Structure 1
Amino acid sequence: MQTAGKTWVVTGAGSGLGQALVLELLRRGSRVAAVDRSREGLEETQTKAGGSAAGLSLHLLDITQRARVEALAEEVEQVHGQVDGLINNAGIIQAFKRLQDLDLEAGERVMGVNFYGTLYMIKAFLPRLLQRSEAHIVNVSSMGGFLPVPGQTIYGASKAAVKLLTEGLWAELQGTPVRVTLVLPGAMRTGIAQHSGVETPRSEGQAQVPLLEPEEAARTLLEAVEKNAFRVLLGKDARTMDLLYRLSPLYATRLIQRRMAHLLR
């Protein structure tokens, strides 16, 4: 589906990939409803949009609040007159701990934002999207959704749930006007740790993984959407590990375990 002239809802729009997606959509001639729980982040996105901000609306919202999400769909339609696309980008990581050391409340928070927040948004907007002549849902999972990362096990489980939710939704919506795209990013410069309220350990004496810039990721993602792609991998690391995991899940898992184990001592 072409992005120009369409109205898109983007979650996590106050920073990182979400902010980059908003700005790129506006640049391409779209209207955007930017959703985030941070007022400061939304205002920053608006400032960066500059002259393109005429097609932008800001919606302060915690996507784990089901009733508020349900009201958002009507709110966006009142502002823009229609909704053509939904990009579920908002997400958080967990504290960098083994599962045995992570408290259940922290795990529930990660699942609440990453999985249930995505589910609430889909349930709220899908009836409206089905009424359009063409529409699109984009769900941002993670490389950690197909490759286990020690210290991020609950995060990975939440993103794996988003992955399968997206694939199932794609199958169920065949024969309808709604297309679905699954996004699997690797390491990206997003500040997700800061926005999740956690600290990430530093890897001493080892080469750092090159970080994909969110602006480049946004362009690649939207190009995939315009081709109605089923699945898009963002970053060289995501593409490489996807191939390795397909060839040998055990080898890929051991490789990541060896690289990450020292961070959990």
Structure 2
Amino acid sequence: MKVQNKVVVVTGGGNGMGRELVLALLSKGASVAAVDINASALEETLSLAGIHRAKLATYVANVTDRAAVEALPGQVISRFGTVDGIINNAGVIQPFVRLKDLDYAAIDRVMNVNLFGTLYMTKAFLPHLLARPEAHITNISSMGGFLPVPGQTIYGAAKAGVKLLTEGLNSELLGTNVRVTVVFPGAIGTNIAVNSGVMDSLQAMGDLKESSHKMLAPDKAARIIIDGIENNRYRVLVGADARFMDAVYRLNPQRAARFIYNQMSALLPK
């Protein structure tokens, strides 16, 4: 689906890759409804939209609140007249600890934001998308959604759920006007750790800045994702690390898991 002159909803649009998706869509001629739990972050996105701000609407909402999500389609359609696509980008990571040390509050939050938030948004908007001549659903999974990462087991489980949810939806919608894409980002240079409330846990393991040069810039990630949308791709791997680990995992899942374990296990608290 070409995004020019389309109306696209982006969750997590207040910062990081979500903000870059909003700005890139606007630059390509789309109208955008940016959704985020953080009102001040949305205000900053709006200010960065510059000459395109008239085509941007912002909505403060928690994607884990089903009633709030179910109200969004009406609000977006009231503003723009229709809706042609959604990008379920909002997500949080977990504290970088083993499952045995992870409390249920953190488990519930990670599952609710990453998996159920995506599900609620998809269910709420799907009837409206099916009514359009063409439409698109994009769900952001993760490299951790197909590859186990020690210390992010629940996050990975949630993102693996997003993967299968999206692939199942793709099959259900074959023969309709709605295309579906699942996205697997690798390491992206965003502030997801801060927004997830786990920065202290991550900083305790070392200086994150030392590895930042290995991360893909969020604006580049956004361009890759939008290219995938415009070409109706089934799956999109974002970053050299995601592409490499996908290839290794397909050849030998156990070896790929061991490789990640060797890279990450020393960072876990004892």
Classify the TM-score, shorter chain: over 0.9
- CA offsets 1:30-70 (integer angstroms, 9 cap, x no match): 00000000011100100110111010001000000000100
Q: Look up the match of 1:244.
A: 248
Structure 2: gaps spanning 5 or more residues:
none
Question: Partners of 1:171 and 1:156 in 2: how far apart?
Answer: 23
Aligned twin of 1:148? 148
The residue type paired with residue 21 of structure 1 is: L
What letter matches 2:119 in structure 1?
L
Tell me the amino acid that sits aligned with residue 155 of structure 1.
Y
Letter in 2 for 1:90: A
Matches within 5 A, 1:70-109: 70-109=70-109
The match for 1:6 is 6
Matching residue within 220, 228, 248 for 2:224: 220
2:211 aligned residue (186, 208, 211): 208
In structure 2, the partner of 1:125 is 125
| CA deviations over 1:83-115 (Å, ceiling 9, x no partner) | 000000000000011000001111011000000
| 2: CA distance, partners of 1:29 / 1:164 | 31
| TM-score normalised to structure 2 length | 0.96
* Separation in structure 1 between the aligned mates of residue 14 and residue 108 of structure 2, nearest angstrom: 23
Structure 2 residue identity aligned to 1:176: T
For 2:257 and 2:176, the matched residues in 1 are separated by 38
Q: Which whole-Å CA distance do the structure 2 matches of 1:101 and 1:121 have between them?
A: 31
- Give ranges in structure 1 of 5+ residues lacking alignment: none
Question: In the alignment, which of 236, 239, 257 is matched to residue 261 of structure 2?
Answer: 257
> What TM-score, normalized by structure 1, do the two folds share?
0.98
Question: Where does residue 232 of structure 1 map in the other structure?
Answer: 236
Report the CA distance between 1:203 and its aligned residue. Answer: 4.2
Partner of 2:188: 188
* Alignment-mate amino acid for residue 67 of structure 1: A
- 1:189-218 deviation per Cα after TM superposition (whole angstroms, max 9, x unaligned): 1100000001214347xx736010010011
> How far 1:21 sits from its partner (Å)?
0.4
Helix, strand or coil for the counterpart of 1:107? helix
- SS where residue 208 of structure 1 aligns? helix
Partners in 2 of 1:154 and 1:163 — Cα distance?
Answer: 14
Q: 1:203 and 1:51 mapped to 2: Cα distance?
A: 40
Query: Within 2, Cα distance between the matches of 1:87 and 1:11?
Result: 6
User: Within 2, Cα distance between the matches of 1:124 and 1:32?
Assistant: 17
Size of the aligned set, in residue pairs, is 265
Q: CA deviation at 1:246?
A: 0.5
Question: What's the RMSD between the two structures over aligned residues?
Answer: 1.4
Percent of pairs identical after alignment?
56
The 2-side partners of 1:240 and 1:203 are apart by 25
Residue 50 of structure 2 corresponds to: 50
Cα distance between partner residues in 1 of 2:211 and 2:43: 32
The amino acid of 2:54's aligned partner reads A
Equivalent-residue separation in structure 2 for 1:250 and 1:69 (angstroms): 39
Cα deviation code 1:151-171 (max 9, x no counterpart) = 000000000000000000000
